[in-house]
Structures are given as C-alpha cells and as structure tokens.
Amino acid sequence: MAAFWMWLMLLMVAWILAINGYAEPVHAMPERIAGAAGFFALFFLSPLFRKQEGRFTALLACAAVMAIAALWPEQEGAVNPYPLLVFTMIAGKAVYRLKAVQSALIGGLLLLGSILPAFFGYSVFHPLFLLVYSVMLGAAFVMYRRLFLKVSDVTLRNEALLSEFRRMKRQLVAGEKLARQEERGQIARDIHDSVGHKLTALLMQLEVFRLEAAAGTKERVNELKQLAKESLEETRNAVKTLKEDDMAGLSAIISLIRRLEAESYLRIHMSVKHGAFTAPLSNEQATVVYRAVQEALTNVMKHAKKKEATILFEAPAGTVFRFEVANATDDEQLSFREGFGLSSMRERVEQAGGHLDIRHYDGSFIVRGTLPLLQKGRDRE
C-alpha cells in the first residue's frame, strides 16, 4: 500500500508538470485533462488485478496508450520534456510489477508513442536521443530487476532460516522442559521411596513404643509422633509439587512473554498492580490464568495488524484476581465470533469458579478474566 501511494504522488507531480508544459492554457485542452483522468482511473483500478498478471498487463497497456494520447505533442512550440518523465514512470511500474516479457511489451509501446510523433512533424526529442535514452533506461531496469530478484530470494531464504531457527528453538525448549520434568519426577520418586517410607516406618515404631511406654513418657512420644506426621505430610507436599507441571502462574507467564518477544517480535506491555504477585491462587487457577493469557496472545499474533498487546494483573481488595489482555484494532465496527480457542478459554475460567469477558471497546479488543481468591485462614487446594 505504501508503494502504491508513492507511485501515485510521483505520477501526479509528473502529470501536472507535463500538462503545464504546453503553450496553450489548461482550460483550452479538455481532451488532455480527460485523458489524464482516464489514466488515473486505470491506475486506481490496477491494485485490484495485481495478482492477475494478464489483466494487470492489459490495464497498464491501456493506461500507457491513454497517456500517449493525452500527452501528444503540440504542432508548434518548444519541446515539452515532462511527458517523457511520465512514460518513464509507467515503464518503471511495469518493471516493478510484471515479468520481463510483459514489462518489455509496455516499454516498447511507450517507446513507439514517444518516437511516432516525430514522423508527423511534431516538436519532440530527436528519435536517436529517444532510442539511446530507452536503451540506457532499459539497462538500468534490467540491473534493478536482477537486484530486486536477488533481494527477494535472500529475503525468502532468511525467512526460511528464521522459521527453522524458531522451530529448533521450540524443540530445544521442549526438550529442556521434558528433561527438567523427568529430573523432577526422578527426585520425587527418590524422596517418596526413601524419606517417605522411612518416616512411615518411624511413625509405626513410635506408635508401638507409645503402646509399650509408661504413662509418664506417652505425652513425649505423642509429640514425637506428631512431629513425624508433620514431616511426612511436608514430604508428600514436596513430592506433589515436584510432580506438578512447573509451567503455570505469573512466573511462567513472564517466561512466555519473553519467548514471544524474542521469537515472534510481539511487543508486550505488562502491568502488575499491588498484590497480584502474592495473590493466593490455587494450582488450578494459576494454570487457567497461564492458558488464558497464552491463548489471548496467540490470537493477537494471528489476527491483529499491530503486533502489540497490553497485559494487566491485579488483585483488588485481595478478594479476586483479575487479568486483562488488550490489543488495539483499526476497525471501530469490528465483529467477532468466539472460536474454539476463546470458547475453551471461557470454559476453563468458569470451571475454576471465575468469569471471562470478551469485548471490542473504544478501538481495543479486550479479554478480561476474574477469579475468586482463597480467603485467609482456609487451606489452599
């Protein structure tokens, strides 16, 4: 789109100079103005057929013929050099958008339109000058075309290499995660098989000793037994934690953000209000928050034109935990339908006892989730 507006601006300047280069006033040459209007109408239509090479070539050829007719030289007077500038830009657009054969066809048509008036006695550049100019311009376009194709090829290779690098990086991260989980699982099994079994045996021996002990020592044995129970419970909790997936919660979300910024060039602005990091989320809720933020950022990468998002975490009054992912949209009247990803996100949040709100408001697409926090004094799930 930027290239289209650049070509349009340059062509408008060239046409204004070409029209003003004639001796007669503008109001006295309506046929030239009409030809210019027809040319720009075809120029505006050309982006619609950019992917249809045949139609685009025909459209550009018609525009070239219309330009030749509208800028036909005067019978008498000085030579107007600016139509040559218009023809050069048309040829440049043909080289930029079309293949070699089609661009050569457009160039030949423009060259014929430049030389033909000389054979009818009109004031134009000498045919030899136009021929030399065309050869030099063609050589420059050939060099540009080769350089353009080379740069395009290098760009495609770089994109392929970048894609392969990202794939290998994801594999490396997945391999590291799998190795870490296996190591954590092995440590959990070792603790369970050694420390857990020994503490269980210790509890049994303390119970036997309590039954056989004198009345004066039973209270002390009960204290030791209670200490052993607490140690066994803490060991079981440690084993359970080691077996759980460590990719959950705000720390995992920060790792996700870093990875997306590095691999997908996604700009993320994160705000964490007071109490959000210390909010007593359960394991299930922490996982739900991570998956919801992950799905929202994936939608930003897939559908948003601007690869930029804002994330907010807060725990107002310490009673609820709220997360919000927002990204700017250009379409004020954006309509959307919840697909599988958003539906699954809503289902997870509701299963965890929360609420999910998805809306388009004031130029932003917002995903906001609210989860109830565990009250103080209650055991965490």
Query: Where does 195-282 have alpha helices with state H?
Result: 197-212, 215-243, 250-263
Three-state secondary structure call for residue 355: strand
324 pLDDT above the threshold of 90: yes
Q: Are 59 and 67 in contact, with CB atoms under 8 Å apart?
A: no
The closest alpha carbon to 109, from 132, 93, 90, belongs to 90
Q: Are 297 and 309 in contact, with CB atoms under 8 Å apart?
A: yes
Q: Residue 312 pairs with which residues in a beta bridge?
A: 271, 324
Is 147 or 279 the better-scoring residue by pLDDT? Answer: 147
**Angle at CA 362, nearest 5°, toward 360 and 364?**
50
Beta strands in 16-136 (DSSP E): none
Is 376 or 351 the better-scoring residue by pLDDT? Answer: 351
Give the global pTM. Answer: 0.47
Q: 128-132, 191-195, 214-218, 330-334 — which one is most confidently predicted on average?
A: 128-132
For helices 82-97 and 53-70, angle between their N-to-C axes, nearest 10 degrees? 180
The closest alpha carbon to 280, from 319, 237, 316, belongs to 319
51 pLDDT above the threshold of 60: yes
Is 177 or 223 the better-scoring residue by pLDDT? Answer: 223
pLDDT at 378: 43
pLDDT at 326: 92
Q: Please give the structure tokens belonging to residue 306.
A: 């601007």
379 pLDDT above the threshold of 50: no
Q: Residue 272 pairs with which residues in a beta bridge?
A: 313
Q: What is the mean pLDDT of the chain?
A: 81
Give the contacts of 230 (CB within 8 A, at least 6 positions apart).
Answer: none
pLDDT at 178: 66
pLDDT at 238: 73
pLDDT in tens, 332-364: 556 667 777 788 888 889 988 899 998 887 788
CB atoms closer than 10 angstroms to residue 275: 15
Beta strands in the chain (DSSP E): 267-272, 308-314, 320-328, 355-361, 364-372
Three-state secondary structure call for residue 1: coil
The C-alpha torsion from 14 through 20 and 22 to 27, rounded to 10°, is: 130
The closest alpha carbon to 117, from 109, 128, 105, 125, belongs to 125
Q: Measured between alpha carbons, how far is 216 from 219 in angstroms, rounded to an integer?
A: 7
Mean pLDDT for the stretch of residues 111-121: 86
Q: Measured between alpha carbons, how far is 287 from 283 in angstroms, rounded to an integer?
A: 6
Three-state secondary structure call for residue 8: helix
CB atoms closer than 10 angstroms to residue 202: 17
In this prediction, residue 242 has a pLDDT band, given cuts at 50, 70 and 90, of low
In this prediction, residue 367 has a pLDDT band, given cuts at 50, 70 and 90, of very high
Q: Please give the structure tokens belonging to residue 79.
A: 């030579």
131 pLDDT above the threshold of 80: yes
pLDDT in tens, 273-322: 878 877 888 777 888 888 888 888 888 887 777 888 899 999 888 889 99
Q: Please give the structure tokens belonging to residue 146.
A: 């080769």
Beta strands in 50-92 (DSSP E): none
Burial string for 20-48 (b: 16+ CB within 10 Å, else e) reads ebbeeeeeeeeebeebbebbbebbeebee
